[in-house]
Homo-oligomer: A and B are copies of this chain.
Amino acid sequence: MPRIRHTTLTCSPGCTVEATLELFGGKWKALILYHLFEDGVLRFGEFRRRMPNVTQRMLTNQLRELEADGLISRTVFPEVPPRVEYELTDLGKTLKPVIQALKKWGDRYAHALQGRETGT
């Protein structure tokens, strides 16, 4: 099935802002990337422990999309029991300033989020 994402054409200045956000704007993608920046390499189960309220299905889904977008890599080790490791690609690593900016803002202005809750 083709990876088509809702939208049309026509680009104007500011388009790249939107385009960038589409890349990791998925519900859990920023969080996945954040943990990868923290830990370097993570296995599926380690993600699950770090993000308890993400369902298995969603986690798989988001990981696959990030992989398809070339931001993370997925390495399967043919062992028993199976092992799969995820890490940032070179392209993925370039997102560091963006994630950092998000984190920095959130840390400083978390109080502005009163009344809103976020799962992690």
Check if B25 sits within 8 Å of A21, measured CB to CB.
Answer: yes
Query: At the interface, yes or no: A112 with Cβ under 8 Å from chain B?
Result: yes
**Nearest residue, chain B, Cβ from A19:** B118
Taking the closest CB of chain B, its distance from the CB of A81, in whole angstroms, is 27
Taking the closest CB of chain B, its distance from the CB of A47, in whole angstroms, is 12
A94 to B20, CA, bound (A): 20
Check if B101 sits within 8 Å of A22, measured CB to CB.
Answer: no
A110 to B5, CA, bound (A): 16
Check if B117 sits within 8 Å of A7, measured CB to CB.
Answer: yes
Check if B34 sits within 8 Å of A116, measured CB to CB.
Answer: no
A103 to B100, CA, bound (A): 14
Near B by CB (< 8 A), chain A positions 63-116 give: 69-70, 91, 94-95, 97-110, 112-113, 115-116
Interface flags, A1-19, vs B, CB<8A=1, else 0: 0010101111111111111
Selected A-B contacts with CB under 8 Å, 16 pairs:
A5-B117, A7-B119, A8-B53, A10-B52, A14-B31, A14-B35, A16-B103, A18-B31, A20-B103, A20-B109, A21-B25, A23-B113, A69-B116, A91-B109, A91-B112, A97-B101
